[in-house]
């Protein structure tokens, strides 16, 4: 069964304390992996798309990487405004396209 | 650019009534729109995908007669929850893609919180 697992469920950091969020997947027919940011009570905001192992994408303090089994979202020197839930999703093709979301990692950054 | 709006942002309705939620792409033409629901502290669950001018494709387990989706124009899709019940209470979010969207890129609306009493 296709599955996407994000860890940790919640992460508390001090401002400036770099860390990584993990998204592991067991799927067949991967067609892309996506990262989103979601603030409470709002819709997700698209961050990155990764297609193949070894690929990396960066945006401000965020850097996403992809291997054959997992993706990492690295946060360098986070600020309080980076506090949000970060969602990972994979797009697979098994006779038809399907997008599967992980449960998310809630990040809290304290000043 | 790529702004998606939803209306209403929240709605309370009585059990047995129907409620319509609108999703609009404000500055681009949305060839594909997606409808999700999200329960508290849970991830997004895709309900259906709709392409402009054609019938929506529903995910397995989603009742198409209960959740009516219309995508009549390139800027508007509607989700109607018919004969709503308390278990339909949830956060409904739409997203949209246009012809120029990069693969996998979706622009999400702010969501609509539905409470059925």
Residue with the two structure tokens 């956060």: B91
pLDDT digits (tens, 9 = 90+) for A35-63: 999 998 888 888 999 999 999 999 999 99
When CB atoms are compared, the residue of B46, B108, B113 closest to A99 is B46
A42 and B110 within 8 Å at the Cβ level: the answer is yes
Count of residues for chain B? 117
Q: Which two tokens stand for residue A23?
A: 């998204």
Distance CA A71, CA B51 (A): 30
Q: What is the pLDDT of residues B68-115, one digit of tens each?
A: 999 888 999 999 999 999 999 999 999 998 877 766 678 899 999 999
For CA atoms B49, B44, A42, A59, the dihedral sign is negative
- Torsion angle of alpha carbons A23, A106, B101, B22, nearest 10°? 130
Smallest CA–CA distance from B93 into chain A, residue: A43
């Amino acid at each position: 069964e296709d599955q996407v697992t994000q860890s940790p469920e919640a992460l508390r950091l001090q401002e400036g304390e770099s860390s990584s969020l993990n998204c592991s997947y067991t799927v067949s027919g991967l067609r892309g992996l996506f990262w989103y940011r979601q603030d409470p009570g709002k819709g997700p905001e698209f961050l990155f798309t990764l297609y193949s192992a070894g690929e990396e994408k960066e945006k401000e303090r965020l850097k996403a990487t992809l291997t054959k089994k997992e993706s990492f979202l690295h946060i360098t020197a986070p600020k309080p405004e980076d506090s949000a839930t970060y969602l990972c999703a994979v797009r697979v093709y098994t006779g038809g396209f399907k997008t599967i979301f992980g449960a998310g990692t809630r990040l809290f950054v304290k000043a | 650019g790529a702004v998606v709006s939803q209306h209403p942002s929240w709605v309370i309705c009585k059990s047995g009534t129907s409620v319509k939620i609108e999703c609009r792409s404000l500055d681009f033409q949305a060839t594909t729109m997606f409808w999700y629901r999200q329960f508290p502290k849970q991830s997004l669950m895709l309900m259906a995908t709709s392409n402009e001018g054609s019938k929506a494709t529903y995910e397995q387990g989603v009742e198409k007669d209960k959740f009516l989706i219309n995508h009549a124009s390139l800027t508007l899709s509607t989700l109607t929850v018919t004969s709503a019940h308390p278990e339909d209470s949830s956060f409904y979010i739409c997203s949209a893609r246009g012809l120029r969207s990069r693969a996998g890129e979706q622009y999400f609306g702010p969501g609509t919180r539905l409470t059925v009493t």
